[in-house]
Structure 1
Amino acid sequence: MKKFTKAAAFVLLAASVSSCATVFGGPVNDYQKTKPLAGQPQREVRAGALIADIVLFWPGAVIDFATGAIYKPQPTTPSPATQSPGQQTGK
């Protein structure tokens, strides 16, 4: 019975720190949830969260991929309206 209690405590502890990107990655947006279409660039994976998932509790990686939390948020590019006059191109 003592071995079962220790094993149950270990599983509970491992499950509580699993899914590192889901727990610590912040809100998941549509870019992370949506699979890219053909011809679109692939989403980048958060390497630190993936390594933590594999080392701590590998089923957490499955949860992170299923929720899309393992992917980095969409990179922001400055729009032409927000560029300073010295940065404008094409003229």
Structure 2
Amino acid sequence: MKKLIVNLLLLIFVVSLNSCATIFGGRVSEYQRIKPLAGEPSRKIRGVALVADILLFWPGAIVDFATGAIYQPDKQTEAKKANTNEPITL
């Protein structure tokens, strides 16, 4: 019984260290990684992932912002890549 409790606590600890947008958000596009220049529109944030990061384990939000996974991908850029059959580079 004691081993089960320790394993369960360890599992909860490991899961809580993960960031939601990095794990569940899919691939991070170039649009998400590059910071917009002055005069360019800012990137939109995935609200659900941000709230989940804050409620579950706030350092996960730091990881999501550092990787760019917290930002929504650009729909127009993704559609153009899908139509032109260009390879997606990361």
TM score, norm. by length of structure 2 = 0.71
Structure 1 position 24, deviation (Å)? 0.4
Q: Does 2:57 correspond to 1:57?
A: yes
Q: Which runs of 5+ in 2 are unaligned?
A: 81-90
Over alpha carbons, which structure has the higher Rg?
Answer: 1
Judged with a 3 Å threshold, the aligned counterparts in structure 2 of structure 1 residues 21 and 13 are, in CA distance, closer, same or farther, namely closer
**Percentage of identical aligned residues:** 55
The residue aligned with 2:16 is 14
State the distance in 2 between where 1:22 and 1:13 align. 13
Q: Which has the higher helix share?
A: 2
The runs of 5 or more residues in structure 1 that have no matched partner are 80-91
User: How many residue pairs end up in the alignment?
Assistant: 74
- RMSD between aligned residues: 2.5
Q: How does 1:1-91 map to 2 (within 5 A)?
A: 5=6, 9=10, 10-15=12-17, 18-76=18-76
Name segments (4+ residues, structure 1) moved above 3 Å.
none
